[in-house]
Structure 1
Amino acid sequence: MRMVDIIRKKREGNPLNDEEINFFVEGYTDGRIPDYQASALLMAICLNGMDDRETASLTLAMAASGDSLDLSAIAGCKVDKHSTGGVGDKTTLVVAPIVSACGVPVAKMSGRGLGHTGGTIDKLRSIPGYRVDLSEQEFIEQVSRIDIGLIGSSKNLAPADKRIYALRDATSTVESIPLIASSIMSKKLCSGCDAILLDVKVGSGAFMKTLPEAQKLAETMVSIGKHAGKKTVALLTDMDAPLGLAVGNSLELKEAIEVLRGGGDEALTSLCLELSAWMLFLAGQGYLEPCRAMAQKALKSGAALQKFRRLIEAQGGDPRVIEAPSLLPGASHRREIKAQKDGYFAQMDAQSCGIAASILGAGRERKEDAIDYGAGIWFQRKIGDLLQKGDVIAVFYTSVPEKFKEAEDVFRNGLKIAKTPPQKRPMILGAAK
């Protein structure tokens, strides 16, 4: 078998068989296939696409290129949740304790943030003492004991994806649904879960900007999950504006604690309850409506909050942050961002907000960049509110005040104040099952 023949076959728009796909993935992962040939195949895939069978085959080959997590020692159905990335997305911090408090084990590996999107692991790292690097045995024992564990990935999961993703970024082949779907799902299939709930973000702050694109990606990933024998559902959720009021690591953790205490932003709470209900449904806890009631009871009773406390304590963190969020990292400088005219708060472009928060120190452009855990943005007003000139829209936080001007310029470019109120957009825009 020759790589040049595989490239030609896909260039001419023909489907690749499993043997050809495995030959490419194995050869590129171990260095036998050079970058220039891999680049040519990725471009051919980007231009000509892949059918469902090819995409599933590529995903399985990438998943098989490294380690996998064996969660069979944990009793019960393990459901994983994956978000395609957004701004202010702290849902895992709320959903995982809710689902666990309902008796379903949550054993989740999460990632770090990159660019304008945040990562769950960075938020958890802002808790003093919290360990994200448990060994596999420690992780399994903890979840078996308290039904919850949230860690970073310490295993060599899908190394083929890491190599292919870096090449896609450098060859302008990122915007390919088969390549996006296989990248996400190859890691999910290694996670040891029994079922997968996908939160596919749609809008300016998401990777998929339009609903048709997001629907196609969702359907592709669900098809891959089912092909691999995993119960899989995808919800399409709005990311035109930041989710909730906080953007930034310790700020988002504070907001998540507020929601778990029964307060917080209503839209964020509603989305977290819906995601929780679908996870419970996938875990076999009943029909969707009773699962919604279970999730609401776990939140209202305080059981989810106590589960989050147990998680923090079990992983070496300071549980006092539940009652005293001031123990979380803070920023030494703040600036109020005020409305420059009267009108309705009509728009806050999520990507602009995410970039502004990153400039303040809440994010990283490269994986090796340091993060200011106390940096970020906290909104004082919500989209749809009527503003008067001088009203505080948001507060910026950073440890480097020289960053305020650049961040504010980016933020205001995404801010719109209008004479008429905006149309309300639903949080959940669709689903793929």
Structure 2
Amino acid sequence: MEALGRMMEAVVLVFLCRLGGLGGLFPVFSVGNTNNGTITLTHLLFANDTVVFCDADHDQIQALRVVLLCFEAVSGLKVNMDKSEMVLVGEVWNINFLANFLGYWKKVGWLVGSGCIYQKEVEENVKCNENGAPVKRLRRKAIIVHAENIAGRRFWNEHPSLLKEVVGFTEDVDKIKLEYVRFFQFENKLMPSTWIVIRIDGCHFHRFSEVHQFEKPNDKQALNLMNSCVVAVLQEIPDIIFGYGVSDDYSFVFKKDSHFYQRQASEIVSVTVSFFSSMYAMKWKEFFPLKELKYPSFDGRDVCYPSDEILQDYLAWRQVFCHINNQYNTCFWMLVNKKGKSKSEAQDYLKGTQAREKNELLIKEFYIDYNELEPMFRQGSFAFWEKEDITLADENGASVANSHNKVTVEHCDIIKPNFWEAHSSILGEIVPKL
């Protein structure tokens, strides 16, 4: 086993030499505390047994596999795969791939902090009756279960509440031929040669804005955060040619000939929504550095529009909605924040009022000309790719003209043809409808 130890030390030295940024082969882990001192280790040798510590990383597993192959070649000994085990600490999403790559497909164990999660009915005290006795109710609660093999019948027999949810198995799951499961998958491909619109919307956003103490749901910083996330989405998914947003609502338009995820609706919606949501969480501190983010969530839906004209009608509808919604919200929150009315009182006050009456209210009561509000509130935000001409200097200092595409966010009227005439490349060389 000394040969294996020397090989592991060599791999660790390569890792330490590469810490400067070139990437490593194997990490070292610190054990102990500052009071009693710490030691670093990567593996432990016990006679004919070895424990190796590493991250759930493909490159590190690959390095370990190479070390084991070299050890077998040099020593003439064989690593006993039947007695070897890969033990997890925490959640490892790619365990099947790593275990299969290394050769430990059947034996995968768990340490505390990993396993499967499911909901179980538990009895909890919810209140006390008039005599002071606790009143119990069944509640569904998420629990973590650690098991060596969740495909075996033993696991399901030990958790009858879970078995009840999915119905019983006549044989061990790992003995069932699983090919038939694919027949239950439903292919929902979006219509070819049409504009794909993925519209995302904040879930319970009014409550979200209250919890995070926004001035109003379309708070300026919140809108800027949304626009920043949209720029990131366009940069990440090149098939999206533009997006239009109102408050917590954004519509992403994919090009007509897009083959993104083979035009599978569920994949396109889930990728777009999940990436946007992750960007919202990652960028939150840039716009709200003093507020703790709690629970952002967005839903999404897909629609296909067959022609440029219908697509423009859709966008015009969204911008009309932006105007109606913002005019109402401006009046509503001014009544609440400036006049001290309750939300129900403000709703009753505005009930049945027309656009002209709302404008008069803003002018007479708050000295606000609605048409002078920032365009971002009145017209929404329009994000699209635009070619930018730049001048660079070559190695001789001479100026060289160059151009590149960048994502631009504008707040303008997209109902009239002026915008589309000025940016005809967005939808292609089309004649905007009058």
Smaller-chain TM-score range?
under 0.3
Give the structure with higher Rg (CA): 2
Q: TM-score, normalised by structure 2?
A: 0.24
Which of 1 and 2 has higher RCO (CA within 8 Å, sep 6+)? 1
Between structures 1 and 2, the one with greater strand share: 2
Q: TM-score, normalised by structure 1?
A: 0.24
Between structures 1 and 2, the one with greater helix share: 1
